[in-house]
């Protein structure tokens, strides 16, 4: 999981670099199609192309649409927000997933978990500034929208994993996002510069390796043990911001991030306790 977070942090860095020169929707297309050859090679190596069409098409299409929204809003936010601040807001996703699990999966969430969700939302307000100047920014709202898309997609993935394999899920999410975003990106398409091809290559490799690592992590260990390591992204965000853009998060961002991370870890641990109680 630590390796996966490292790869995704580097992937987000390449997206931020590309978002400075290309529209957000075009960055989504590049993210999807750049990793596709590597995923196809992996699926072929696993011998799973024979069953690639036997999937839950409704949920695959839903995840594709959500993926387009998530990546496009995230890329848009990265144009004007540092990585560390963007990650801090995006960390509200576990709380949103917990809340949605009640509505969609009919899972039980107790009063303390609801309190943790509210505390996590309060942490988002802290990161986006108590006085509200950043809360009304389009970039800040875009990150929240991206986290919401991720949360809904995670719920869909839980249902999808009952019928579809990891290879099918990885393959079709890239196909759906790429094919869905391409028609939307074409009207404003900007010709790719030669000097940006190494960045696109890095985007492809880091995205592919990150997806492989996170899939392996959740197949090897319990979600309650693996998931908290996702918060190591904040350390990567701070380091990359400082190394490339000479930017460091201010005190409010760190306080808000601590609140969000604390509530997220509590939710994951609390869910593990409930799971053990129901399935001893």
Mean pLDDT (whole number) for 35-57: 94
Domain count, the chain: 1
Residue 137, in any domain of the structure = yes
Residue 280, in any domain of the structure = no
Residue 138, in any domain of the structure = yes
Residue 169, in any domain of the structure = yes
Asked which of 28-32, 173-177, 216-220 is least confident by mean pLDDT, the reply is 216-220
Domain range for 48 is 1-273
Residue 276 — very low, low, confident or very high, per pLDDT cuts 50/70/90? low
pTM to 2 decimals?
Answer: 0.90
Q: Which two tokens stand for residue 130?
A: 């108590």
Q: Which two tokens stand for residue 79?
A: 């144009």
Residue 279, in any domain of the structure = no
| Predicted confidence (pLDDT) at residue 5 exceeds the cutoff of 70 | yes
| Predicted confidence (pLDDT) at residue 131 exceeds the cutoff of 70 | no
Q: Residues for the chain: how many in total?
A: 280
Per the prediction, the chain carries an average pLDDT of 90
Residue 278, in any domain of the structure = no
| Predicted confidence (pLDDT) at residue 65 exceeds the cutoff of 80 | yes
Residue 184 — very low, low, confident or very high, per pLDDT cuts 50/70/90? very high
| Predicted confidence (pLDDT) at residue 28 exceeds the cutoff of 80 | yes
Residue 203, in any domain of the structure = yes
């Amino acid at each position: 999981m630590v390796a996966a977070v490292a790869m995704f942090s580097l992937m987000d860095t390449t997206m931020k670099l590309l978002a400075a020169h290309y529209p957000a929707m075009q960055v989504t297309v590049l993210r999807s199609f750049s990793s596709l050859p590597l995923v196809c090679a992996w699926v072929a190596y696993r011998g799973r192309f024979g069953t690639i069409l036997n999937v839950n098409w409704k949920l695959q299409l839903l995840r594709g649409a959500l993926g387009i929204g998530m990546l496009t809003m995230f890329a848009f936010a990265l144009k004007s927000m540092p990585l560390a601040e963007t990650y801090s807001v995006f960390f509200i996703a576990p709380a949103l997933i917990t809340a949605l699990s009640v509505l969609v999966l009919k899972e039980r969430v107790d009063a303390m978990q609801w309190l943790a969700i509210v505390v996590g939302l309060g942490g988002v307000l802290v990161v986006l500034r108590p006085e509200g100047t950043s809360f009304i920014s389009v970039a800040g709202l875009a990150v929240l929208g991206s986290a919401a898309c991720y949360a809904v997609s995670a719920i869909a993935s839980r249902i999808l994993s009952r019928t579809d394999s990891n290879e099918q899920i990885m393959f079709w999410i890239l196909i759906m996002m790429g094919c869905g975003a391409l028609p939307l990106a074409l009207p404003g398409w900007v010709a790719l510069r030669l000097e940006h091809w190494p960045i696109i290559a890095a985007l492809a490799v880091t995205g592919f390796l990150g997806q492989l690592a996170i899939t392996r992590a959740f197949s090897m260990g319990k979600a309650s043990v693996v998931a908290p390591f996702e918060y190591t992204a904040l350390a990567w965000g701070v380091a990359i911001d400082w190394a490339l853009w000479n930017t460091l998060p201010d005190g409010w961002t760190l306080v808000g991030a601590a609140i969000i991370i604390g509530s997220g870890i509590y939710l994951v641990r609390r869910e593990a306790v409930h799971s053990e109680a129901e399935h001893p």
